[in-house]
Amino acid sequence: MDVIVWIATNVFGTPAILLGFIVLIGLLLQKKNVSQVISGTFKAIIGFLIIGAGAQVIISALNLFEPMWKEVFGITDKSFSGFIGQEAFNNRFGSAVTLAMALGFLLNVALARFTRFKYIYLTGHMMFWTTTIFAGIIIQSAGTDAPFWKLVLFLSLFMGLYWTLQPALTQPLMRRITGNDQIALGHTSASVALLGAGLGKLFGNRENDSEKIKLPSGLEFLRDSNVITALSMGVLFLVGAIMVSTKGTPGAQELIAAAGEQNFLVYSIVQALTFAGGIAIVLMGVRMFIGELVPAFRGIATKIVPGAKPALDVPVVFPYAPNAVTLGFLGTLVGALLWLLVLGQTIGYVFVPTMIVLFFHSAAAGVFGNTTGGVRGALLGGFATATVVAFGQFAMVRMLLPDTIPDTAMWAADSDMFILGPIVKLLAELLF
Amino acid sequence: MKKILAVCGLGQGTSLILKMNIEQVLSEEGVQAEVEHVDVSAASSMTADLIVTSRELAQNLQNGEARVVTVQNFFDVNEIRSALNEHL
């Protein structure tokens, strides 16, 4: 009995170790050599631990961003505190998330094997974030003492179904975009992609294809996620800082005092770049463990499911309509700024328009919107993306997981999670 | 051992698939090399023998020591094979 308790605590209860074991098994199944097995296992464990460190950096920057914009809009309540936070959440529930990811993937493989939905979901970082956010919603509703195996079982069933059906839903349009039936979309932007296609069909003109126009090459920097994050957050922090500087309120003085000797505007820009740095750290961590996990997953899937189609990350659609990607982003930028102001002025919510989410999702919506509605479809798809993300983030941070990981939901929660989040919440209330 | 970087904008999903496809080509050709997948910012500060990426990102990576190979379709193993063959 002691042995079981020891294993439960130290292996299943220590997510980094559990993840290390799953990757170890995956690498052994692929018959990798000793050197590859050792480096892969360690990189997976270290990668997972890095995520918590990056999350701390992001919070430290958001700790200026939120009060600063609250001051600008004159909002008084201090909601941004008292949550568990990504690092502590990973320590407590990371094992359940890790196991649910692995079991959910096996369900995806089984469904692909035995049904006509032959899609294998391979976008590993989104597998991790989606499962994490949904785990947060369940813990919010069921409490921190939710039974471990019940949590794992529910999440793996839900994720397995989502990973199988989401690519199936987008595939009819993917066939039109790619011109063949070889690859599928496996990404949490599916809902806004479909929304973009729908809006394009209603209000666009398919003949006015975005790829007929020439866009300025000065938009090339959009390809580097670190640069767009730093630039856009830099502008928002700077505008917020200037507006706070012109106010003489006690709140404004308190914020400016936090900069110490440093000029408040310089301090704010450094915080914006710190935010971008935090995201880069988290992504590095995710890359380190997903990079070991996904090849193992693919190895398993291709052996078991003949004729399986890989469901892949959203950049797979970019080459088919690069202009639509840019148009979608322009649409989302207009929407994000509009909703930042509207949400701030009306319901008093400070929207964090993270460019990684907005860029990749509006790109999907742009490409899908263009196939049905040309230029107008792409722009509308982008605008719809900002709308879903802004209101989705508000609902998620305020209602669906205010006590668990709202910090993560502000920058890592995606369109599909906002659409499915309320369903997860409802099911959690019924079942837990 | 040669070092190859597979590069996409975020360094997460797409470059990982590219990495797996490069590794498949390498093992078919019997070439030993270490392949890593990274985002474009990280790639420009890393040393490698060869960088494989899309045409759009290649412009940002031309200044380093590594040779840059562009691939239009990251999922087309045949295209990757012919692109790599000139450099292996």
Annotated catalytic residue, options B4, B5, B6, B8: B8
Is 0.80 surpassed by the pTM of this model? yes
CB contact under 8 A, A124 and B13: yes
Written in H, E and C, the secondary structure of chain A is CHHHHHHHHHHHCCHHHHHHHHHHHHHHHCCCCHHHHHHHHHHHHHHHHHHHHHHHHHHHHHHHHHHHHHHHHCCCCCCCCCCCCHHHHHHHHHHHHHHHHHHHHHHHHHHHHHCCCCEEECCHHHHHHHHHHHHHHHHHHHCCCCCHHHHHHHHHHHHHHHHHHHHHHHHHHHHHHHCCCCCEECCCCHHHHHHHHHHHHHHCCCCCCHHHCCCCHHHHHHHCHHHHHHHHHHHHHHHHHHHHHCCCCHHHHHHHHCCCCCCHHHHHHHHHHHHHHHHHHHHHHHHHHHHHHHHHHHHHHHHHCCCCEEEECHHHHHHHCHHHHHHHHHHHHHHHHHHHHHHHHCCCCCCCCCHHHHHHHHHHHHHHHHHHHHHHHHHHHHHHHHHHHHHHHHHHHHHHCCCCCHHHHHHHCCHHHHHHHHHHHHHHHHHC
Q: Classify residue B59 by its DSSP letter.
A: G
Question: A169 with A114: CB under 8 angstroms?
Answer: no
Least confident of A99-113, A162-176, A189-203, A284-298: A284-298
Q: Does A116 have pLDDT greater than 70?
A: yes
Measured between CA atoms, how close is A170 to chain B, in angstroms? 18
Q: Does A426 have pLDDT greater than 90?
A: yes
| Total domain count, chain B | 1
Q: Which residues of B touch A (CB under 8 A)?
A: 8-14, 16-17, 19-20, 23, 37-42, 54, 56-57, 59-60, 72-75
pLDDT at B16: 93
- Contact of A173 with chain B, judged by CB distance below 8 Å, is answered with no
pLDDT at A409: 94
Give the closest of A283, A286, A316 to B14, CB-based.
Answer: A316
CB contact under 8 A, A315 and B13: yes
At B72, which amino acid appears? Q
Instruction: Express each pLDDT in A238-251 by its tens digit.
Output: 999 999 999 888 88
Give the chain B residue whose CA is nearest to the CA of A124. Answer: B13
CB contact under 8 A, B41 and A227: yes
Half-sphere exposure at residue A259, Cβ-oriented, CA atoms within 13 angstroms = 20
Q: Does A400 have pLDDT greater than 90?
A: yes
At B15, which amino acid appears? S
Residue A80's pLDDT band, with cuts at 50, 70 and 90, is low
pLDDT at A79: 60
Q: Does A220 have pLDDT greater than 90?
A: no
Query: Please, what is the average pLDDT of chain A?
Result: 92
Question: A176 with A371: CB under 8 angstroms?
Answer: yes
pLDDT at B75: 85
CB contact under 8 A, B20 and A287: no
Instruction: Express each pLDDT in A168-211 by its tens digit.
Output: 999 999 999 999 898 999 999 999 999 999 999 999 999 999 98
Measured between CA atoms, how close is B68 to chain A, in angstroms? 17
Q: Does A7 have pLDDT greater than 90?
A: no
Tell me the two tokens of residue A227: 């640069």
- Contact of A288 with chain B, judged by CB distance below 8 Å, is answered with no
Averaged pLDDT for residues A353-378: 94
Instruction: Express each pLDDT in A132-154 by its tens digit.
Output: 999 999 999 999 999 999 999 99
CA distances in angstroms from A422 to A149, A419, A430, listed in the order given: 22, 7, 12
CB contact under 8 A, B56 and A220: yes
Burial B9-45 (b: 16+ CB within 10 A, else e): bbbbbbbbbbbbbbbebbeeeeeebebbbbbbbbbbe
Tell me the two tokens of residue A290: 């997903």
pLDDT at A228: 86
Residue B44's pLDDT band, with cuts at 50, 70 and 90, is confident
CATH number, domain with residue B41:
3.40.50.2300
Task: Find tokens 């940002």 and name the residue.
Answer: B60
Q: What percent of chain B has pLDDT over 70?
A: 100
ipTM for the whole complex: 0.87
Averaged pLDDT for residues A104-115: 96
Q: Which helix (H) or strand (E) holds B34?
A: strand B33-39
CB contact under 8 A, B9 and A223: yes
Averaged pLDDT for residues A363-382: 96
Give the closest of A223, A286, A319 to B12, CB-based.
Answer: A286
Active-site annotation holds for B76? no
For residue B29, the enclosing domain spans 2-86
Chain A residues with CB inside 8 Å of B16's CB? 124, 287, 290-291, 294-295
